[in-house]
Amino acid sequence: MNNIDKLYALWKEKAVLDKDLIDELNDIEGKENEIEDRFYQSLTFGTAGLRGIIGAGTNRMNVYTVNQATQGLATFLLSEYENPSVAIAYDSRIKSDLFAKSAAGVLAANGIKVYIYKELVPTPMLSFAVRKLKCKSGIIITASHNPAEYNGYKCYDPEGYQMTDEAAEKTYGFIQKTDMFSDVRTMDFDEGVEKGIIEYIADEVYEDFYKCVESCCLSPEECRNSGLKLIYTPLNGTGNKPVRRVLSDIGIKDVRIVKEQENPDGNFPTCPYPNPEIRQVFECGLEMAKEEPCDLLLATDPDCDRVGIAVNAGDEYKLMTGNEVGVLLAEYLLSRRKELSLLPKNPVVVKSFVTTSLVDAVARKYGAEVKSLLTGFKYIGEYITMLEAKGEADRFIVGMEESYGYLSGIHARDKDAVVACALICEMAAYYKSKGKSLYEVMEDIYAEHGMYLNALDNYAFKGSSGMVKMGEIMDNLRNCPPQTIAGMKVTGISDFKKSEKLDVATGVKSVIDLPSSNVLYFELENSCGVIVRPSGTEPKIKIYYTACAKTREEAQEIKNIMSAEMKKYME
């Protein structure tokens, strides 16, 4: 009997906490491929925690993999801190509440105080609670925008951003030493509540979060007086109550909710891939807009840390990209703060390095610094914390990722679609008072600075062979990099794994002062570029393109050629 068969037999004997696991293990008996896929590896605990398909096995999200991770986290926290406490939150996904309460029971059994939200809440509210309650860590059960069959488990640092590489590595070490059936301490959730070691988070924490978010708005009177018409969908996730509450508080009253997507539902029946980056999530809202037009459609993902928008452009509704919304927020917040004499000395905009460089052009116009960091909002959270420690938190204007994540204010250390929704609506109301839609404002920015077309290709790789293939592709690009892409010379190669940048013309290498990461950036002529990186949460390679030209059509043609050439490296 091989190791996979032994594991399968062990799970059939021991996995009794969840009837669904028992049924699944029985259903796959004799199906070698099904068994192998569930047991050929264990879910890896990285800085993003765990993420995987819900089901039975070491390669699935279930109470055993969650409990094992939580026991490892508990051991880590007890080795680092005296009397640590942990905040816990969860989203609308299948079994999220079960996993959250199970994790709470493990922590409680280890003598660690738990503060848990009494209902599903957005990810930024977990980040807020960690800081507010002075916890040493936080856990949120979510798989963000992944399909319904996925769930995940993310851990947080005491400062409210996702766990650092060093802490994650130590925690993973403890997890690997933990037998999920014999080494995990557990306590019944209700018993933990009765003993007071598990405590529900008080209403005042919710209210403090809302106050912090609303304080980020610059001119709520614009919202009250604009007559802005809005359609909002929480995509069957956590945004419904918080987003509606904040929009109402700042004066946005004409808000219609997409009924099919209003209430929590982890099956996401109208949008199997609940990602605000794609048009499908807006289809129900766009149908509503046909009956009664609106100025703006908003869609937050299931854990409400990202938001997408569609704007009434007169003859149609235009979906804005994550890059475009980031640029609009930078333009609005910098220009409006300047107009109101609220722009601090040495303002700074923080972005992931795969986010459009059009942000840099906008920031320069207002004398603002742009700090480009590795992909992952925790790096933006770390930077805000550094500013705060230096007494310079007021310099922070906005943080952003091209993948529709934004943060303004220092109440959280993770991307926050609640505050983003408030600011997007405020700027839409402001520009409406000037007779312009957000789409028209974006076109004005392109006219001023040039067309920056940013696009993303995803290449998925399945199973164990897929992971090997991804490694081979990155090695090939690293060892035999392209000399030209789309007829443009590669002028610079940044290898973030080696932390070095090569100037191709001179051969001179310089140090990249960022944490090591398996990412390659090919700088091209004419301000164009290509970034290649494996996803940190999914078995796929992402390729980011920047195509610059005078017109959208010219930029699109350049992007198409770049995409066709890079596809060859993925085969």
The residues assigned a catalytic role are 144
d(Cα 111, Cα 89) in Å, to the nearest integer? Answer: 19
Non-local (6+) Cβ contacts of 179 within 8 A are: none
d(Cα 104, Cα 101) in Å, to the nearest integer? Answer: 5
Q: What is the DSSP letter of 299?
A: E
d(Cα 442, Cα 529) in Å, to the nearest integer? Answer: 22
d(Cα 442, Cα 448) in Å, to the nearest integer? Answer: 10
Report the C-alpha dihedral over residues 225, 227, 228, 234, rounded to 10 degrees: 100
d(Cα 522, Cα 354) in Å, to the nearest integer? Answer: 12
Q: Are 139 and 42 a contacting pair, CB within 8 Å?
A: no
Q: Are 543 and 566 a contacting pair, CB within 8 Å?
A: yes
Q: Are 144 and 220 a contacting pair, CB within 8 Å?
A: no
Show the tokens assigned to 69: 């991770």
Q: What is the DSSP letter of 61?
A: B
Beta pairing class for 307-312 and 296-300: antiparallel
**DSSP secondary structure string for all residues of 468-509:** HHHHHHHHHHHHS--SEETTEEEEEEEETTTTEEEETTT--E
SS3 assignment, position 105:
helix
**What angle is formed at CA 86 by the lines to CA 88 and CA 410, rounded to 5 degrees?**
80
- Write the CA distances from 522 to 260, 531, 547, integer angstroms: 43, 6, 12
Helix (H) / strand (E) element for 425: namely helix 417-433
β-bridge mates for residue 515, sequence order: none
Report the C-alpha dihedral over residues 173, 176, 180, 183, rounded to 10 degrees: -60
Amino acid at 176: Q
**Exposure string over 370-381, b if 16+ CB within 10 A, otherwise e:** bbbbbbbbbbbb
Q: What is the DSSP letter of 54?
A: B
d(Cα 57, Cα 10) in Å, to the nearest integer? Answer: 10
Helix (H) / strand (E) element for 213: namely helix 203-214
Tokens 């949008």: give the residue.
271
- Write the CA distances from 436 to 321, 428, 442, integer angstroms: 18, 8, 10
Non-local (6+) Cβ contacts of 490 within 8 A are: 481, 482, 483, 484, 504, 522, 523, 524
H runs (alpha helix) in 316-366: 322-339, 358-365
Amino acid at 298: L
d(Cα 255, Cα 139) in Å, to the nearest integer? Answer: 32
d(Cα 335, Cα 398) in Å, to the nearest integer? Answer: 13
